Amino acid sequence: VSEYSAAVLAHFSEPVGAGRLPAAPGETACGEAQDAAGGQRVRVHVRLGAGARLEDVRFQAFGCPVTIAVASAAVERVTGKDRDAALALEPGALACALELTPDQARLAELPVRALRLALAYLARPMSPKSANLTPSPSHVSRGDREALLRHRSVTLWFTGLSGSGKSTLARAVEQELVRRGVLAYVLDGDNVRDGLCADLGFSAEDRVENIRRVGEVAKLMNDAGVLVLTAFISPYRDDRARVRATLPPGEFLEVFVDCPLEICERRDPKGLYRKARAGEIAEFTGISAPYEPPAAPELVVATGTQPLADSVRGVLAALEARGLIPAAR
């Protein structure tokens, strides 16, 4: 490790990308993993290099920060595939694709899951398995449906810790919107995980896939004319940025349901924090898994201190101010 350390510490003081997708040189993708025993958490950053087109892969190994410079052609071999393919790479194949030396490969062994995840962020969007598809165009446009319903169909994306009040707030806003004649619908984590996402758990990879699916559903429902409210922890900035990028500009509104961990834990509406502290739930957000707050949300709602009715009014006012729903009569 020591042979890498000196050069590496300098890299670590660099700011890490602030949640934007790493599409341009200098931007960073990042992934996180826990070793099988659940002991060591590893975060890997992959940076698109400027100029020399070198890429940095950075992570901690044995408690020390490590940077491996990798030729961009080597990273292209991994990221030129689609997300599924990047995620499926075995440790050996990954080390080989990146042309790591045996020493580097040894160091990369532990963070390999995180490395795969980080590279998957850089990979092409998931491509259809079949090459024999011919999507059919609709004769009814989204504009036609919006005119029919007399409101815009956007996605309000509530993000925050478990117990922060996402579902409570989204449900209350949904009820008020429908009362006002707006066709609104809540997609909620605990509900979606009972059906569409019943095959997913809470590893970083599964959460990425959970949010990808929800983003696709929201997009379809927006196209159908529905104003969608989503209530998912959605802990990773990059995942939320990906959903934002799939929707037209201005039609993804990120709402940070901002409630401090101490309050969520004290409220503990489902008793899950207690279980997580007792070690009965692994990878629990805020306790043993990360939460990355939005850097620039459209709206912040302080659910830790504000009464629900005030929060609901704030969200509706933001929609009105943007001309997305008719003003209350």
| List of residues 6+ apart from 97 with CB closer than 8 A | 74, 77, 78, 89
237 binds ligand ADX (CB under 6 A): no
Which residue's CB is nearer to ligand ADX, number 57 or number 229? 229
Q: How many residues bind ligand ADX (CB under 6 A)?
A: 19
Numbers of helices and strands, H then E, in the chain: 14, 9
CB-nearest residue to ligand ADX: 189
Which residue's CB is nearer to ligand ADX, number 68 or number 289? 289
304 binds ligand ADX (CB under 6 A): no
270 binds ligand ADX (CB under 6 A): yes
Q: Which of 80, 284, 292, 300 binds ligand ADX (CB under 6 A)?
A: 284
| β pairing state of 252-257 and 155-159 | parallel
Q: Which of 193, 212, 213, 277 binds ligand ADX (CB under 6 A)?
A: 193
Catalytic center residues: 234
273 binds ligand ADX (CB under 6 A): no
What token pair was written down for 111?
Answer: 């963070």
Least Cβ distance, residue 245 to ligand ADX (angstroms): 18
At 184, phi and psi to the nearest 5?
Answer: -115, 150
255 binds ligand ADX (CB under 6 A): no
59 binds ligand ADX (CB under 6 A): no
Which residue's CB is nearer to ligand ADX, number 78 or number 272? 272
At 102, phi and psi to the nearest 5?
Answer: -55, -40
d(CA 314, CA 19) in angstroms, rounded, equals: 25
| List of residues 6+ apart from 28 with CB closer than 8 A | 16, 17, 22, 45, 46, 47, 48
Q: Which of 55, 238, 265, 283 binds ligand ADX (CB under 6 A)?
A: 283
Q: Which of 34, 67, 164, 285 binds ligand ADX (CB under 6 A)?
A: 285
Q: Give the start-end residues of each E strand in the chain.
A: 28-34, 41-47, 54-61, 64-71, 155-159, 184-188, 227-231, 252-257, 299-301
Enclosing H/E stretch for 66: strand 64-71
Length of the chain: 329
**Quick one: which of 233, 234, 249, 235 has its CA closest to 155?**
249
Least Cβ distance, residue 55 to ligand ADX (angstroms): 28
Least Cβ distance, residue 233 to ligand ADX (angstroms): 4
Q: Which residues bind ligand ADX (CB under 6 A)?
A: 162, 189-190, 193, 202, 207, 210-211, 232-235, 270, 272, 281, 283-285, 289
